Amino acid sequence: MLLQVASNFVEGVDKAFFVIMGIGVFFLVGLTTLMLVFVFKYNKKKHPVALQIKEKTYLEVIWTVIPLIIVGFMFYYGYVAFMPMREAPKDALQITAVGKMWEWNFIYANGKESKKLVVPFNKAVNLKLVSLDVVHSLYIPAYRIKEDVVKGEPDFMWFIPSQKGRFDIFCAEYCGLRHSYMSSEVEVIDEAKFNLWLSIIEKKSNKEEFPGFLVLKNNACTGCHSLDGSRLVGPSFKGLYGRDEVVLTNDAERNQKVDDAYIKNSILNPDADVVKGFNKGLMKSYQTVLKEEEIQQIIEYFKTPDEK
Amino acid sequence: MEISAIENSYLKHGTKYKGILGWLTSTDHKRIGLMYMYAIMIFFLVGGLLGGLMRLELFRPGQDYITAQTYNAVFTVHGVIMIFLVVIPGLAAVFGNILMPIMIGARDVAFPKLNLFSFYIYIFGAILAISSQFLGKGAPDTGWTFYAPYSTDTNTNVVAAVLAAFVLGFSSILTGLNFIVTIHRMRAPGMTWFKMPLFPWSLYATAWIQLLATPIVGITLLMIIAERWFKIGFFDPNLGGDPILFQHLFWIYSHPAVYIMILPAMGVITEIIPTFSQKRVFGYKAIVFSSVAIAAVGYLVWGHHMYTAGMSVTARWFFSLLTFIVAVPSAIKVFNWISTMYKGSINLQPPFFFTMAFIFNFMIGGLTGLVLGSLATDIHVHDTAFVVAHFHYIIFGGMGFAFLAAIHYWFPKIYGRMYNNKLANTSCALIFGGFTLLYFPQFIIGLQGMPRRYFDYLPKYEWGQVFSFFGAIVLGIGILIMLINLFKSARKGKIASSNPWGGKTLEWTIASPPTVENFEEIPIITEGPYEYK
Ligand code: HEM
Ligand SMILES: [Cu+2]
Ligand SMILES: [Cu+2]
């Protein structure tokens, strides 16, 4: 098989696919052959005079009615495989899938959060889809399911994993710069193992309890600025406060120590001083988005040293 | 004597001005059509090169030549250029302008000045679209679909691009209006509706879509601008708007727009097959009715672009059902084309080869469209490379090949000269082969789950991207050979007779190239358009 078979929906979807493509290939091959036969047989050299044939109404009726019946069939197969996707069992395990630029976050009923979607084998799972910003789309090819994740319009998708292992999760709806990196994984494990995994809630570090940290998360700042020092679209936040940066101001290089004023200005006028090695025009001004108070909270968060 | 046909033609005589100014101020439908053609060819080449750049970047996973931001800007301009500047005006503005008046026995369109004005609106829109790349804060990166709230939120120069699409819409509306009035009022005496050739018929159906659907996208685009400038919340949930509303409004236009591209293409094919088979078209009325049916039902299926966007279940299956129904008239046309060849006397010339390639590509595009119309399967392949392959098969494999067929068919009429047949056939083979190699693998990696608009991808999809890259190169070589052949022949080719293919429609009864007035005397029509004996 081309693709992994890993959920309860695969069979129906693949069947609809084979029915439609089967009929499709039959017509494609049949009509192409017919066309080629005509082109050879009625070639000008062999068949110098065209025969004007009368139109045959019965033919036209046949080739209107038969395709109508065939597409009726195709519709039916797609319909029956689709309908169950919109009827989640009541006792399904509820997980909230949060999409934001450009990462997925899965939140379980007991408050556990995870970047990976860990689910128990052979149990129905119902994902509540929530977006914090633009439209995303949660796509699991091995499960044949996908549903858009839209801010303000909560939606759901559900499935029963029928295979243990790990399967790709992609974002399928274009959502900006790092759209193609907005991926994750489903990990399907035994129920017992799952319950154990679920019960371990890593204590959030003190720093993550800061209001400023929440502001960063909710405004998707961390989509572009990593917290662990890795390079994304913008400079990492790790060890930011007090760092010496080389910035370009009006194309002139200069040194800048990161302090309160610099942070605030970088939030309100991102293109005024651009850290060397990064691009202008990618970050928008948060003038109308963040309140003064929130900016102060962010600065407070940056000022706090990392624990350990 | 034949040389004098060129000397006496619209190519040499126009307005009171000489040279380039004589073209730029001409209200002659043939000159306007040719100007559209040159403009569209330039945009097509620019768009094609951008496509090639994306293919190059995708050749290997990871970042190689351009950054993610540049890639996103590139697929946005590529889409905007190809859709709004190339395929939507495409056949109607070029061959509709050059040939439709002649085919219905008229001297010009109903409003020649408006026609020239539409051309300038088009150029103005094009300039706006291109300048959006350079002015303001960075090239737009929303994709040609401008989905909200990303489009109302991103920092880049979206307003200029949106405004360009808005302006181009006006050009489209005015051309549609002009054609509708022309076809209603200016058919030659005796040419009843059902004696009209099928290319004008397809333009007529198209013109109604242009007139009725384009205003919707116009308003929608203005709503984006209002939202960006004045923070009026139409689509952005942060302002109390509804992002899905944008998608509805966008596709209410953009699905019918697909038919703006493909209906005239079907019309071209329906002209070429009878001529090269020397046979009356099979099922004239069925073809007319299926064009009108496609135009009408095509309005009601936009939701098939939104199966995953959280619509109610009832809406989803209803849109699916309608989508399947609208597929039938397209199938009927294919049956009619192939049966027109039956017992014909087929003359295998370049336009006919392009036509055969069209039929084959169009069948693949249509049949994979059924996979997308079906609910369960679309959920899986929506927004993947499968969709990219599907719409390139319809737009490029269909509309694009029909355009090439049309150039090769009407070339002797337009320029009064012939191109080199061998080169034309070679370029047709290369373009077809390159196209197939470029897009067919995308169906498969799409089925394997490769999402679209991806700057980077997992290694398991690499094989398909590699094939596609080489396909793009072959395709490019084919296009280059074709252009060289056509450009050289337009100036130096052998002189063509007025009816080199033995066509029956009115354009073949007048000189090649036509005079400014087209007809010395307006013909009186007594029989149908394809009365081969
Ligand atoms: C020169 C050959 C061409 C190449 C190499 C090419 C390549 C591409 C590529 C790589 C994409 C991006 C796929 C993605 O979304 O991930 C794309 C998108 C697209 N292409 Fe082409 N293309 C070509 C010709 C055309 C033509 C002739 C048309 C229309 C007549 C066209 C219309 C489009 C459209 C509408 C999109 C979608 C843009 C979007 O997703 O916003 N392309 N093409
Ligand atoms: Cu995305
Ligand atoms: Cu559509």
Are A281 and B309 a contacting pair at CB < 8 A? no
Picking from B516, B511, B509, the residue whose alpha carbon sits closest to that of residue B496 is B511
Task: Give me the mean pLDDT over the B324-348 stretch.
Answer: 91
B206 or B133: which carries more pLDDT confidence?
A: B206
SS3 A127: strand
Token representation of residue B386 = 């499968």
Q: Which atom, in ligand 1's list, is nearest to the CA of B87?
A: 30
ipTM, two decimals, is: 0.90
A146 or B220: which carries more pLDDT confidence?
A: A146
How many angstroms does the Cα of residue A55 sit away from the middle of ligand 1? 40
Query: Which residues on A lie below 8 Å from B384 (Cβ)?
Result: 172
SS3 A89: coil
How many angstroms does the Cα of residue B418 sit away from the middle of ligand 2? 50
Asked whether the predicted pLDDT for residue A308 surpasses 70, the reply is no
Asked whether the predicted pLDDT for residue A204 surpasses 80, the reply is no
- What per-residue confidence (pLDDT) applies to B1? 42
- What per-residue confidence (pLDDT) applies to A224? 82
Q: Which atom, in ligand 1's list, is nearest to the CA of B86?
A: 30
- What per-residue confidence (pLDDT) applies to B382? 94
Are A180 and B324 a contacting pair at CB < 8 A? no
Mean pLDDT of chain B: 90
| Nearest-CA residue for atom 4 of ligand 1 | B51
Distance from CA of A308 to the nearest CA of B (A): 34
Residue of A2, A40, A55 to mutate for B, most B C-beta atoms under 10 A: A55
Q: CB distance from B66 to chain A under 8 Å? A: no
| Nearest-CA residue for atom 14 of ligand 1 | B453
**pLDDT tens readout for residues B161-213:** 888 888 999 999 999 999 999 999 999 999 999 999 999 999 999 999 889 88
Dist. CA B359–CA B351, nearest whole Å: 12
In this structure, which ligand is nearest to the CA of B251?
3
- What per-residue confidence (pLDDT) applies to B215? 87
- What's phi and psi for A127, nearest 5 deg? -95, 125
Q: CB distance from B496 to chain A under 8 Å? A: no
Residues 90-129 of A with CB under 8 A from B: none
Task: Give me the mean pLDDT over the A83-103 stretch.
Answer: 91
Lowest mean per-residue pLDDT among A115-119, A230-234, B419-423, B450-454: A230-234
- What per-residue confidence (pLDDT) applies to B163? 87
| DSSP label at residue B87 | I
Provide the angle, in degrees to the nearest 10, between the axes of the packed helices B313-341 and A57-82.
150
Point out the residue among A28, A52, A144 whose CB comes nearest to the CB of B380.
A144
How far from each other are the two terminal CA atoms of chain B, in whole angstroms? Answer: 30
**In chain B, pLDDT over 90 holds for what percent of residues?**
61
Point out the residue among A64, A150, A180 whose CB comes nearest to the CB of B243.
A150
Question: Could you give all domains of chain A from N- to C-terminal order, each with its CATH number?
Answer: 10-86 (no CATH), 93-199 (2.60.40.420), 207-303 (1.10.760.10)
B303 pocket-lining for ligand 1 (C-beta < 6 Å)? no
Asked whether the predicted pLDDT for residue B227 surpasses 90, the reply is no
| DSSP label at residue A153 | B
- What per-residue confidence (pLDDT) applies to A226? 83
**pLDDT tens readout for residues B31-82:** 999 999 999 999 999 999 999 999 999 999 988 899 888 899 999 999 999 9
Token representation of residue B304 = 């098939």
Are A284 and B155 a contacting pair at CB < 8 A? yes
Q: pTM to 2 decimals?
A: 0.89
SS3 A255: strand
Look up residue A55 and give its amino acid. Answer: E
Residues 501-530 of B with CB under 8 A from A: none
Distance from CA of B378 to the nearest CA of A (A): 9
Q: CB distance from B133 to chain A under 8 Å? A: no
Angle CA A10–A16–A21, to nearest 5: 120
Q: CB distance from B283 to chain A under 8 Å? A: yes
**Beta carbons of A134 and A141 less than 8 angstroms apart:** no
| Nearest-CA residue for atom 9 of ligand 1 | B51
Token representation of residue A295 = 């900016």
| Reported confidence tier of residue A1, pLDDT bands at 50, 70, 90 | very low
Dist. CA A131–CA A151, nearest whole Å: 5
Query: Which residues on A lie below 8 Å from B67 (Cβ)?
Result: 279
**Beta carbons of B221 and B162 less than 8 angstroms apart:** yes
Provide the angle, in degrees to the nearest 10, between the axes of the packed helices B421-447 and B462-492.
160
SS3 A120: strand
Q: What is the 3-state secondary structure (H, E, C) of B25-62?
A: CCCCHHHHHHHHHHHHHHHHHHHHHHHHHHHHHHCCCC
| Reported confidence tier of residue A2, pLDDT bands at 50, 70, 90 | low
Question: Could you give all domains of chain B from N- to C-terminal order, each with its CATH number?
Answer: 3-509 (1.20.210.10)
Point out the residue among B339, B379, B383 whose CB comes nearest to the CB of A85.
B379
Picking from A305, A297, A296, the residue whose alpha carbon sits closest to that of residue A207 is A305
Helices (H), B307-420: 313-341, 350-373, 375-381, 385-392, 401-415
Q: Indicate the top mutation candidate among B388, B450, B479 to test ligand 1's pocket, ranked by most ligand atoms within 8 A of CB.
A: B388
Picking from A63, A151, A50, A172, the residue whose alpha carbon sits closest to that of residue B454 is A172
Asked whether the predicted pLDDT for residue B142 surpasses 80, the reply is yes
Ligand 2 is an ion; residues with CB less than 5 A from it: A 136, 171, 175, 179, 182
- What per-residue confidence (pLDDT) applies to B218? 84
SS3 B491: helix
Task: Give me the mean pLDDT over the B5-33 stretch.
Answer: 83
Ligand 3 is an ion; residues with CB less than 5 A from it: B 255
| Reported confidence tier of residue B7, pLDDT bands at 50, 70, 90 | confident
Token representation of residue B408 = 């090769």
Dist. CA A10–CA B449, nearest whole Å: 13
SS3 A107: strand
In this structure, which ligand is nearest to the CA of B327?
3
| Reported confidence tier of residue A205, pLDDT bands at 50, 70, 90 | low
Residues ≥6 apart with Cβ < 8 Å to A133: A100, A101, A151, A175, A220, B149, B153
A253 or B386: which carries more pLDDT confidence?
A: B386
Are A42 and B278 a contacting pair at CB < 8 A? no
- What per-residue confidence (pLDDT) applies to B3? 60
| Nearest-CA residue for atom 8 of ligand 1 | B51
- What's phi and psi for A246, nearest 5 deg? -95, 120
Look up residue B463 and give its amino acid. Answer: W
**Beta carbons of B216 and B253 less than 8 angstroms apart:** yes
